[in-house]
Amino acid sequence: MFKPLDAILVSDAPVRDRETLRILLNHNIHLEHGAIVQYLQHAYAMGEGGIGTEVISIARAEMRHMKYFADLLVDLGGKPTLDRGNIYFEASSPTAMMTNGIRAEEDALREYRLQLERVDFAPMQRLLERVLADEEYHHGQFQGFEEAFLSGAAQAKPDAAFPSPGPVEDPEAMALLGSSFTARYNQILEYVQYYFESRDYHARDFLEETWTWAMRGMALFADELSEHGADPAFTNAPMPVTGDLRVHLDRAIALEKANVTTRSEQLRCPLSSDLKAMLKNIQSHEAYNVMRLEDYKAKDLSLEPAPATPPPDRQPEIPLPPVRSRASLTVGSLIQP
């Protein structure tokens, strides 16, 4: 469950204990997840091209931030969770969507700046500085986008808003695509969870490729929904299984096989030729995912435990720095209690 920052940082003392650091990192993962969903939803509503494409690019940057925070959390012995922070969804116009983006970035700037003042752990401090540089840039981007819409210099598709004003064209077909979009979103969250938890470096590369293709399918569903006056539903209900890599692969194989079956059922429905062509394309990737996952599982070497000493750039435990007395708190060096 997402907690406000003041519920985590309950005192003014510098933070360097491992448990609080893990809580803060999960908190940041939730912030980034919320921003990703907000920006994607608004980009889908605005349509392809122009500022919508720029907003998708910002969402991709937030995905990287989520990965950075999760990697450090796992290195500190924690387990990432994929709850979501505040999301400013409702917007009656593209201008309002940009205002929402400004609000989300201001939330991130406020929280990350406070953490940077309080956290006394160099790896997290450096990461916060890196992420803050992006958030400051994104904040300026959203301000520029807002001005462009207000001045008429930028345009989005007619009636771009969330929720969509409708009416929904071909409601039955859109209900079918909508359920597939939501299912794919939650499957991606499961794959991301497995990726974060895995210490097998070949598996991480493989899982990243799998969810990247899954996101492509999700985006195709979203484009069609938005073009037909419907809203993609980012209902957050992943069901990741616990266990080792083999268990995760079994789950992923089952999900992809179910997707292939679902596409076959959808292709028997009375849909337009364009929608059927899209579904066939998505199904081809899902069928390929099944084969690759099964091949990967069959390679005993790939399923062996990760070596006791991973590569130097991926240490499983980051030692906390020794306690040092300092006279003041500055960016780049942190005061001790």
Q: What is the pLDDT of residues 38-52, one digit of tens each?
A: 999 999 999 878 999
State the pTM of this model. 0.86
Mean pLDDT is lowest, of 59-68, 167-176, 318-327, for 318-327
Residue range(s) of every CATH 1.20.1260.10 domain in the chain = 11-165, 168-305
Fold of 168-305: Ferritin (1.20.1260)
Confirm if 147 and 56 have CB atoms less than 8 A apart.
no
pLDDT value of residue 300: 53
For residue 304, pLDDT beyond 80:
no
210 — pLDDT class (breaks 50, 70, 90) = confident
Average pLDDT over residues 286-295: 92
The answer to whether the CB of 51 falls within 8 A of the CB of 94 is yes
Average pLDDT, the chain: 88
The CA distances from residue 93 to 25, 140, 150, 156, in Å, are: 33, 19, 10, 9
Q: Report the interhelical angle of 18-46 vs 94-118 (nearest 10°).
A: 170
Contact residues for 22 (Cβ-Cβ < 8 A; gap 6+): 73, 76, 77, 78
**11-165: what fold?**
Ferritin (1.20.1260)
